[in-house]
Amino acid sequence: MAAVMTRDIYVGNRNLNPPDWIPFEWTDPLHGPQLKGEVIVIRPEGTSGNLSAGLWRTGYEIPGCEADGSCRINYSAPLGDETMVILEGSAEVTETATGRKHQIAAGTILSHPKGVDLYWEISRPFLKKFWIMWDSPNPATKEDHLYVANISDNPSTWKPFKWVEPDHGPQTCGEVHTIRGTGSTGTYMCGLWRTGVGIAGCAANGTATFPYSAPLGDETLLLLEGRANVVNEETGEKYNLSAGDMVALPSGLPVTWTSTTPFLKTFKVITREAVPR
C-alpha cells in the first residue's frame, strides 16, 4: 500500500485471532506464485515508504501447509526488508546462497534484507510471528545475510536513547540495543529499548514520562515486558499497553509516553523513506 500522511495510532495484540485470516499470497521472483500461511494486517500504512505490520501463522488446515501443520517455504522477501519476532513454534531457516542455517523458536528476532533467498522448514504443529514489512523508493545498503537476535538479549553495554524533540529540544530516556542499523532502502533501524530503575531519564522507581513525536521515523513496537500509557496529544485519546501489545506510531504525531512499571522493554522498528544523512 502506498504511504499516506496518516495521523493514526494503530494498536493490536500478539493474541489477536479474528474469524477471518487472509491467505498469504505473493509472487516470488525466484520461485514464482506462492501461497503459504495466513496473515492479519495491524498496521496498513506509514507516513512514508511502504510500511505494514501484523501477524502471520502456519498450521493444520492453513493454506500451503502439510496435514500435520508443518510447512516448507521458499522466500526471497520481494516486498522489502522484513523483520519478525517469532511468537510461537519453531523452524529451521537456511540462507540458500551460503547454506548457513538458523534454528529459530519463540523469542527469536529475524531481520531479513530484501531479496535474500531463504528456505524455511517450519515444524509441526504451527508457527506464529509478528512481522514488519518495509520498502522505500530510495536505495540504501545492499545486504546479503540475515540478522538474528532474541527478545531476551542483554548485551554488556546498552546505550542511552537520545533524540531531539522538535518542540522540546534534546531528550534522553531509556536505553537502546541496536540489532540492525541499516536497511536495503531508506532509513531502517531495529532493536530493543528499555526503561527502569537506574536507567537514564527514569524516575527513582523506574517509571518514565516524556514527550515524543517519533522524529526519527515511523515506529512499530511490540511491548515485551511491563506496562505503559500513550496519550495522543492531538486528540486526547489514551492507550493502555501491556506485554504482548503492539503499537504503531506515525512520525510527527505528538504523544506523551509513560512507562508505568519499574521495568519496561520493547522491540521496535524505525523506518523513514529518506536515506540517513
Distances (CA, A) of 237 to 47, 64, 68, 255: 20, 41, 44, 10
130, 150, 170 - which closes a domain: 150
Domain co-membership, 145 together with 246? no
**Of 121, 150, 179, at which residue does a domain stop?**
150
Mean pLDDT of 31-49: 97
Q: Say yes or no: 172 and 106 in one domain.
A: no
Mean pLDDT of 242-261: 98
How many domains, in total, are found in the chain? 2
What CATH number did the domain enclosing 200 receive? 2.60.120.10
146 touches 179 (CB < 8 A) = no
pLDDT higher than 90, residue 80: yes
Report the distance separating Cα 274 and Cα 129, nearest Å: 28
Domain span holding position 38: 10-150
User: Is the predicted pLDDT of residue 192 greater than 70, yes or no?
Assistant: yes
Domain boundary among 150, 169, 190: 150
pLDDT number for residue 5:
57
Reported pTM: 0.95
Query: Do residue 167 and residue 111 come from a single domain?
Result: no
> Cell 500461511 belongs to which residue?
37
